[in-house]
Structure 1
Amino acid sequence: MNDTLLACFQAAPGEYVSGEKLSRELGISRTAVWKRIRRLEESGYRFESVPRLGYKLIGYPDRLRPEELLPRLAGTRFGASVKLYDSLESTQNAAYEALVHGAGEGALIVADAQTSGRGRLGRHWFSPPGKGIYMSFLLQPNVPLARAPQMTLLLSVAMCRAIRRSIGADATIKWPNDILIGGRKVCGILVETILEADAVKAMIAGIGVSANVGRDEFPEALRPIATSLMEAAGARVSREAVIGEFFEQFEALYELYRSDGFEPVKTLWEALSSTLHGRVRVNTPQGVAEGVAEGITTEGALLVRDDAGVVHTMYSGDLSAPAVSLPT
């Protein structure tokens, strides 16, 4: 029915189409037509409405363009198997299904919208259509389980560098999985490890970036803590260019990681971190540690020295500055 509705507008470009005509064409009430228009607006279409004239289609969703994206991935391990979707429940779920059906390292899933995008600990990721980068891809790094947390830090470095190169913003990394601009979150990273006989079979790396989200488009609860690439750059950004830059950075770092280990990545992470050398509070299932973030281990764990001089090794948790909540 949405296709039929859009076809009515496409047959009359730049013109108003009356609610009565739309009602007749679709065989539904004018109230139902209005509800359909609202749903299309939620998907990124833009309409003007004038009493007695009807509706005019004035804008389309900003969809990712394969002809712009695929050439940027050509020659990389992530350009061989790319699937683009208008909308998915979750790119993580789709990537897992691809793995189950035999997809290998490099398989990439990208969506223009997610209806149930998720971050760490099952939290919801705001995924409006045409406004962000929502993608997941498969990795098979052949590392022991103890080294699995390193991948989140490697991905963080790649995305931080990609944002800096793409829009010139002073992006930083908040342990363990957030990219910040001006102290507000612009990107979240989720790595899910698939085990087979207690060994790492594969990793599903998920990345969500608020690309062209306006300040008033964020849910009210997110406005104090979230930002977008567009807000930082002062203009709309090319999502295809950011994705291409990310995979250029990631592939180089991934090869370095596979040949030289985590130490070079650790050095880069520390240089880009907004977490180190400041006071933090880390909430974990085992309790809360508060103190100064002194560094990370070779496994990617955060080292926090409390006021008694005891160093706590934090492998996961929610990090915030003392007395200030910054949920991830």
Structure 2
Amino acid sequence: MTVKAKLLAYLLDHPGHFHTGPELADHFQVSRNAIWKAVKQLETEGYGIIRHPKDGYALENLNHAIDPNQIRHGLQKVWPELKVYYQESTTSTNDLGRKHAADHPNQPALFISSEQTAGRGRRGRSFYSSLSQGLYFSLVMTPPSGANNELVASMTIASASAYAETLSSYLSDDVMIKWVNDLFYQGKKVVGILTEATFDMESQTISHLVLGIGSNLAGDFAKENAENQTVAGTLFGPQLPGTFNTNDLITNFVIKFKSYYDDLSSLAFLDYYRSHLLGKNQWVNYTENHKNYRGKILDVTDLGHLSIETPEGKVRILVSGEVSFSSQQFADQ
């Protein structure tokens, strides 16, 4: 851990309190010059630090740009073993997550990026990742102890509930959930979620998961095709609010998701998911095993499957891996 990272953690633990250079140097067993350099680094990164000739240094304002140290500090009591990494641009955070899972199978990690050059969604579809203010991150984890494969599969549902609930606290309206893995805000698709699992053939269980989330925070789609302009939207309009801290958003989501993860069998995430299910009681078109169907959305089962009423009045249960819905029919609801 660098002097800068240690100093930031210490200042975050003591917000508004002043600490002299000699006091900090003695605490971290480094020179006063090392403390001065660390303070300069934090200021360059966007942290507001008050300097007083007698009292020393105090943290006044947080850096709103993505900072793994700030996120790691916010999660230290909830998920202390979680590693946090940031790259300004990458092919796909899920790719980073899958490599990490192969190299470090028991180490949970969070990979974050502001741009993806090869993002993807379900069934290998590309995910729009060049928005001026996008956010892309992937959580790498092993399944909760004792969870069977069907329960583990519900973690996509759990993540959608956790992220929709977290986002709604920053916005004027609720974020809605299109089954199974898209989030809509004010009638536009703003978030895509992709969960990729590794299956252990010997034990016949899921050994680890990579949960990827792509968010359209702010910007516009002027250069996109007409279909994307109709469906896609942003959470905050053309620009992020000046007070918005991306680190807080990520931290608050992980805290909420971890609460569901730790008690997955209780299915506590289902109530929120069901109450924010997009298109409930709406007739929609969908594709299942390359065939086209029509049905009315009824609800989500305890296993996270979708119950549909057919035109003949019968109820069918749809499984996410076999079914796809066009987002167009949910836009502007």
Give the TM-score of the pair, scaled to structure 1.
Answer: 0.72
Cross-structure match for 2:233: 227
User: Aligned residues, how many?
Assistant: 261
- The equivalent of 2:93 in structure 1 is 91
Q: Distance in 1 between matches of 2:89 and 2:277?
A: 33
Compared CA separation, residues 78 and 109, structure 1 to 2 (3 A): farther
Q: Which amino acid aligns with 1:207?
A: I
- Equivalent residue, structure 2, for 1:241: 248
1:41 aligns to what?
none
Match of 2:313 in 1: 309
Q: Within 2, Cα distance between the matches of 1:285 and 1:68?
A: 45
Name the SS of the counterpart of 1:113 in structure 2: strand
Task: Work out which of the residue numbers 253, 262, 270 in structure 2 matches 1:255.
Answer: 262
Q: Is the 8 A contact 2:218 2:239 kept in 1?
A: no
Shift of 1:193: 1.4
Q: Describe the superposition over 1:123-180 as per-residue Cα deviations: whole angstroms up to 9, x where unpaired.
A: 1112227611111111222432333431111110001001111234321101010100
Q: Is the 8 A contact 1:169 1:233 kept in 2?
A: no
Q: By how many angstroms is 1:101 displaced?
A: 0.4
**Which amino acid counterpart does residue 317 of structure 2 have in structure 1?**
T
Deviations 1:90-149 (A, max 9, x none): 111110100110243531111121110111111111222761111111122243233343
- Assess if the C-alpha contact under 8 Å between 1:78 and 1:106 holds in 2: no
Aligned: 1:265 with 2:269: yes
> Judging changes above 3 Å, is the alpha-carbon distance between structure 1 residues 284 and 303 closer, same or farther for their aligned structure 2 residues?
same
From 207, 213, 226, the counterpart of 2:213: 207
SS at match of 1:167: coil
- Contact 1:289 1:304 (8 Å CA) reproduced: no
Deviations 1:46-89 (A, max 9, x none): xxxxxxxxxxxxxxxx9523354333333232763111112211
Q: Name the stretch that deviates more: 297-306 or 102-111.
A: 102-111
Q: Give 1:273-312 correspondences, 5 Å limit.
A: 273-285=277-289, 287-312=291-316
In structure 2, the residue matched to 1:65 is 67
Name the SS of the counterpart of 1:74 in structure 2. coil
Per-residue deviation, residues 172-213 of structure 1 (Å, max 9, x unmatched): 101010100012101010011110022111111000001122
Q: Aligned partners of 1:154 and 1:105: how far apart in 2?
A: 21
> In structure 2, do the counterparts of structure 1 residues 168 and 68 end up closer, same or farther at CA, with 3 Å as the change threshold?
farther
Point out the more displaced range, 232-241 or 112-121.
232-241
Choose from 148, 155, 159 the match for 1:155.
Answer: 159
Q: Say whether 1:192 aligns with 2:199.
A: no
Percent identity of paired positions between Structure 1 and Structure 2:
21
> Would the aligned equivalents of 1:292 and 1:306 in 2 still touch at CA under 8 Å?
yes
- Contact 2:278 / 2:330 at 8 angstroms: preserved in 1? no
Q: Alignment partner of 2:119: what SS?
A: coil
- Of 114, 120, 123, which aligns to 2:122? 120
For the 8 Å contact 2:219–2:239, the answer to whether it is kept is no
- Write the distance in 1 (CA, Å) between the matches of 2:299 and 2:308: 8
CA drift at 1:229: 1.6
SS of equivalent to 1:190? strand
Deviations 1:229-287 (A, max 9, x none): 221997364322221221122112222324x2x2x322221011113222122212152
In structure 2, the residue corresponding to 1:318 is in which secondary structure?
strand
Q: Which amino acid aligns with 1:70?
A: R
**Residue 170 of structure 1 aligns with which residue?**
174
Aligned partners of 1:217, 1:74: CA distance in 2, in Å?
A: 41
The answer to whether the 8 A contact 1:279-1:290 is kept is yes
CA distance in 2, matches of 1:217, 1:201: 41
Q: In 1, Cα distance between the equivalents of 2:115 and 2:140?
A: 20
| Match of residue 35 from structure 2 | none
| Contiguous gaps of at least 5 residues in structure 1 | 1-61
Deviation at 1:292, TM superposition (A): 1.2
Change (3 A) 1:108 1:156: same
**CA drift at 1:309:** 1.4
> 1:282, 1:271 → 2: CA distance?
22
Deviation of 1:215 after TM superposition, in Å, equals 4.7
**SS where residue 215 of structure 2 aligns?**
strand
